[in-house]
Amino acid sequence: MSTVPPIAGVHHIKIPVSDIGRSRAWYESVLGLRVEAEFPDEDGVVRGVAGSLSDPSGRVVLSVALRQNPEVSAGLGGFDPLSLSVPEHADLQRWVEHVVAAGFEPPRVANAVAALHDPDGHEIRLFSPEH
């Protein structure tokens, strides 16, 4: 039996999207994505971005990349490619208020989980410790 080589953690998650501009705006305004790199294709058009999500103290908790790929994105509609933890159950209500204040549909909250939907219908879940 072989020993599995070490893994140090998660480097990033990449989410396919149908429209990079629309999705970038959503991830920036709703999840606080701080874009640190843009990736233009050979034609010079930016179809990918990468950045980070941080906690309120500014500590990076996850690196996220968005890549324009409408066909793959359509296949993930309704799927939940990303689930995040919140510190306390009360934070779920804060997220509902935040999403509404940003001008988007309120997340559905049930069983200590809030379900947000990005512009492509991907479900981003927020789990409280009580789940």
Q: What is the pLDDT of residues 29-43, one digit of tens each?
A: 999 999 999 999 999
> Which residues are within 8 A (CB) of 9 and not within 5 positions of it... i.e. 6 or more apart?
none
**Domain positions in the chain:** 13-127
pTM: 0.91
Tokens of 67: 């890549």
Q: What is the second-level CATH architecture of the domain 13-127?
A: Roll (3.10)
Q: What's residue 45's pLDDT?
A: 96
Confidence of residue 2 (pLDDT cuts 50, 70, 90): confident
Token code pair at residue 72: 């793959």
Per-residue b or e along 105-121, where b marks 16 or more CB atoms closer than 10 Å to that residue's CB: eebebeeebbebbbbbe
User: What was the pLDDT predicted at 36?
Assistant: 98
The CA-atom distances, in angstroms, between 27 and each of 53, 66, 103, 104 are: 9, 9, 13, 12
**Range 109-115 contact pairs with CB under 8 angstroms and sequence separation of 24 or more:** 114/86, 115/80
∠ CA 62-56-58 to the nearest 5 degrees?
60
